[in-house]
């Protein structure tokens, strides 16, 4: 019974498009890159909550690219008056940034 339940949960997780390991990795990446200095999962800080970002971009297939560019180049006006500073590859690698974005978008 336990093996069947585990298999069912694992299958559901994989079908959802993200594994538990990927979710932990994404969360760890945003912590390591210090994104949490301005963002939290469900509370607005300096920047929007990750869940709000996920909700805004839910269903938008171009969201990963838009968010990648926003993090790399910074910007303002989407979430208020405080601008987001650019974060280059020296602060978060392309691979880590893509994983973090996938994690954020999975929070919808």
| pLDDT tens-digit readout, 9-19 | 433 444 445 56
Q: Which is nearest to 30 in space by CA: 47, 15, 13, 14?
A: 47
Listed by start position, the domains of the chain span 19-105
Residue 77's pLDDT is 87
35 exposure class (CB count in 10 Å sphere: 0-12, 13-18, 19+): buried
Q: What is the pLDDT of residues 1-44, one digit of tens each?
A: 444 433 334 334 444 455 666 667 999 999 999 999 999 999 99
pTM as predicted? 0.78
Q: What is the pLDDT of residue 74?
A: 95
What is the domain class of 19-105 according to CATH? mainly alpha
């Amino acid at each position: 019974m336990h093996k069947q339940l585990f298999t069912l949960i694992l299958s559901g997780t994989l079908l959802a498009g993200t594994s538990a390991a990927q979710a932990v990795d994404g969360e760890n990446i945003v912590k390591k890159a210090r994104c949490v200095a301005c963002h939290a999962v469900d509370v607005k800080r300096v920047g929007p909550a990750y869940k709000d970002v996920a909700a805004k971009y839910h269903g938008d297939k171009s969201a990963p690219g838009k968010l990648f560019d926003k993090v790399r180049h910074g910007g303002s006006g989407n979430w208020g008056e405080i601008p987001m500073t650019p974060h280059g590859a020296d602060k978060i690698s392309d691979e880590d940034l893509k994983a973090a974005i996938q994690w954020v978008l999975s929070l919808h």
